[in-house]
Amino acid sequence: MKSPAIEVTGLHKAYGAFEAVAGVDLHVEEGEILAFLGPNGAGKTTTVEILEGFRPRTAGEVSVLGQDPAKVGSDWRERVGIVLQESQPEEYLTAAETVIMWASYFADPRPVAEVLELVGLDEHRDQRVGRLSGGQRRRLDLALALVGNPELLFLDEPTTGFDPTARREAWAMIDGLRDLGVTVLLTTHYMDEAQSLADRISVIAAGQIIARGTAAELAETASMQTRISWNPQDVPLADLPEQLRAAAELLDTSEGQRETSTDPAESQERLVILTDEVTDTVAVLLETAARLGHKIESLEVQAPTLEDTYLALIGDAERSGELTR
């Protein structure tokens, strides 16, 4: 049976009367990617720095790769890789020279050529760091974290400032770490990034974990429903079965509010149903359209995004008084 890569119970970090971390429990399985999400000031960075062994804790039990990070030596540190939001490698060295230098710090480093290929820098190995693009610099950061052949990788906002193409390339690279058996703890403010990469997600706010699970499980926790919409000319409200008619709402999507006009040609009207019964609802709509002799090419089915879920969870926690600071 595998041991968890990270096991945290009742973690507290206080600065005088202020508790930055107020009883966090965290579990990360070996080989998984866990996204650790939360607003600024939520306690994310403090928690991660405790896990990395850079900040002492006030109370709680912490095990990272089977050891307490507050009591570890250099052998443990060689098993951990860290990618910070910003780094400052020597700009006059080439990418390859930089990785070679870092490899010399480890007893059993991964081959430099392999690392450069893994992060997509093999064609830029002789480029000086000062002339690398922002995306290439971020790839170099990941190379430096991987060259020690770590079992666990902390990724802090890995694609901040990337253009969309560079972000997608970085995602593929991070997703490929699974094939290496590397466990990843990812912090990010990009919800689509977390949804694309993470096996599981933990959400922290005001120093407390308020939700955890897969994106689908979090959506269920937040009572998020799937949005089904279509042009009312395809299937009019009056022709819907009674149960769907009661659940449907006529919206003007050009303004994001209920439409008062009765002439669909004068607005961008959509009939909208929020539901957990997606398959049954769509089936009834298609049957109704077929009975009317219509095509329902305007049909859209939008599952809740992780961003929708995240904002709902934070809002629910604030309204309920669950967040005490």
Q: What is the pLDDT of residues 248-296, one digit of tens each?
A: 999 886 654 444 444 444 458 899 999 989 999 999 999 999 999 988 8
Per-residue model confidence (pLDDT) at position 198: 96
Question: Where do the domains of the chain lie?
Answer: 1-79+150-221+304-325, 90-148, 226-303
Can you tell me which residue has the tokens 């971020």? Answer: 138
The sheet with strand 226-230 has its strands ordered as 257-258, 249-252, 269-275, 226-230, 300-302
Residue 131: left if φ>0, alpha if ψ -120 to 50, beta else—which one? alpha
On the question of pLDDT at 125 being above 80, the answer is yes
Mean per-residue pLDDT, 90-115: 93
* Single-letter amino acid code for the residue at 9: T
| C-alpha to C-alpha distance for 289 and 194, rounded to whole angstroms | 37
Question: What is the maximum span of the chain, computed from C-alpha positions, in angstroms?
Answer: 74
> What's the mean per-residue pLDDT of the chain?
89
Architecture of domain 1-79+150-221+304-325: 3-Layer(aba) Sandwich (3.40)
Tens-digit pLDDT profile for residues 61-76: 999 999 999 999 989 9
Instruction: Express as a percent the part of the chain with pLDDT over 70.
Output: 93
Structure confidence at residue 153 (pLDDT): 95
pLDDT above 80 for 318? no
Counted residue by residue, the chain has a size of 325
Average pLDDT in the 229-239 region? 92
Q: Per mean pLDDT, which range of 221-230, 246-255, 315-324 is the poorest?
A: 315-324
Tell me the pLDDT tens digit for each residue of 177-193.
888 899 999 999 999 99
- 152-156 and 80-83 as β-strands: parallel, antiparallel, unpaired? parallel
Residue range 40-54: mean pLDDT, rounded:
94
CA 171 to chain centre: 11
DSSP 87-115: ----TTSBHHHHHHHHHTTSSSPPPHHHH
pLDDT at 258: 43
DSSP assigned state of 67:
B
**Nearest C-alpha neighbor of 189 from the set 146, 231, 143, 155:** 155
**Averaged over 137-149, what is the pLDDT?**
90
H-type alpha helices, 29-151: 44-51, 74-77, 95-103, 112-118, 134-146
At residue 10, φ and ψ (nearest 5 deg) are 60, 40
Residue 104: its pLDDT value, please?
A: 94
Distance of CA 107 to the CA centre of its chain: 33
pLDDT for the residue numbered 34:
97
Instruction: Report pLDDT for 160.
Output: 79
C-alpha closest to that of 187 among 54, 51, 66, 74? 51
What pLDDT is attached to residue 54?
A: 94
Confidence band, pLDDT 50/70/90 cuts, at residue 86:
confident
What is the pLDDT at residue 268?
80
Q: At 34, phi and psi to the nearest 5?
A: -110, 125
**Mean pLDDT score, 299-316:** 90
DSSP characters for 182-208? -EEEEE-S-HHHHHHH-SEEEEEETTE
Burial state string for 207-243 with b = 16 or more CB within 10 A and e = fewer than 16: bbbbbbeebeebbebbebbbbbbbbbebbeeeebeee
